């Protein structure tokens, strides 16, 4: 029954996410799913269960959009409907229809399977909506951790590992600037809570006698090379 609910929700979201009345349709879908969870499945926490069902449905829709981006010629995030789905997810979170990490999961799933150039276009969608995506509904204040903040950190770390520091320096800078804008200095991911020091990085210093001996040897070799050339 749960899989049937998820499949129905997936088909519904795929059908209406690009429409003008998408939010009202999502509201009806949320109420219908919640009613089915309460009356048929009788789950102990029906609201959380409903959120999970809708979250799974959105992920399945994202998979289809990602496949279109990879297989269709000249496809862009805008042409396949990513901005519309992202806006619906943001509105769905603020209306308490979806989990607060859903918009970031949409972006994360898209970037996972796309080229760097496509990831840059998807990142522009995130930057243009940063005021909405960094409100307390998504990123909690005073260093508290939420599902959305963890998803954002995971996505950014995965991107930074893929990017070249020389060829993609501008994109790397955009990611780091966004993180510094979003998270406070007291955020847990930036603090060494356990106080553990990095003891694996050991610098070996030469003693003075060994250094002088190495210098004299190098000077002797250099003079011999010059005299050999003459």
pTM for this predicted structure: 0.76
How far is it, in rounded angstroms, from Cα 49 to Cα 36?
A: 11
pLDDT in tens, 110-126: 998 889 999 999 999 99
Tell me the C-alpha to C-alpha distance, in Å, between residue 30 and each of 9, 45, 92, 166: 9, 15, 10, 46
pLDDT in tens, 154-188: 999 999 999 988 889 999 999 999 988 888 766 66
* pLDDT mean for each 10 residues of the chain (230 residues): 83 91 93 87 84 92 92 90 94 92 93 90 93 87 79 92 90 92 70 64 70 72 62
Q: Is 100 helix (H, G, I), strand (E, B) or coil?
A: coil
- CB-count exposure of residue 53 (10 Å: 0-12, 13-18, 19+): buried
In this structure, are residues 6 and 56 in contact, taking their beta carbons and an 8 Å threshold? yes
Residue 12, φ and ψ in degrees, nearest 5: -65, -45
């Amino acid at each position: 029954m749960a899989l049937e609910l998820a499949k129905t929700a997936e088909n519904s979201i795929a059908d209406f996410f690009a429409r003008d009345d998408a939010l009202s349709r999502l509201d009806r879908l949320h109420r219908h799913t919640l009613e089915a969870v309460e009356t048929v499945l009788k789950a102990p926490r029906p609201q959380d269960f409903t959120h999970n069902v809708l979250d799974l449905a959105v992920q399945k829709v994202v998979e289809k959009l990602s496949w279109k981006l990879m297989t269709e010629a000249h496809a862009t995030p805008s042409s396949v409907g990513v901005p519309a789905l992202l806006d619906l997810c943001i509105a769905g979170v603020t209306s308490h229809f979806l989990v607060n990490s859903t918009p970031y999961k949409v972006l994360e799933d898209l970037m996972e399977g796309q080229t760097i150039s496509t990831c840059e276009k998807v990142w522009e969608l995130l930057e243009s909506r940063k005021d909405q995506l960094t409100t307390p509904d998504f990123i909690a204040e005073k260093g508290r951790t939420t599902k959305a903040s963890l998803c954002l950190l995971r996505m950014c770390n995965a991107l930074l590992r893929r990017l070249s520091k020389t060829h993609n320096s501008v994109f790397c800078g955009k990611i780091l600037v966004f993180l510094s804008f979003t998270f406070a200095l007291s955020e847990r991911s930036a603090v060494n809570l356990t106080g553990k020091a990095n003891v694996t990085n050991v610098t070996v210093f030469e003693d003075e006698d060994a250094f002088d001996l190495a210098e004299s040897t190098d000077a002797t070799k250099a003079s011999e090379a010059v005299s050999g050339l003459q």
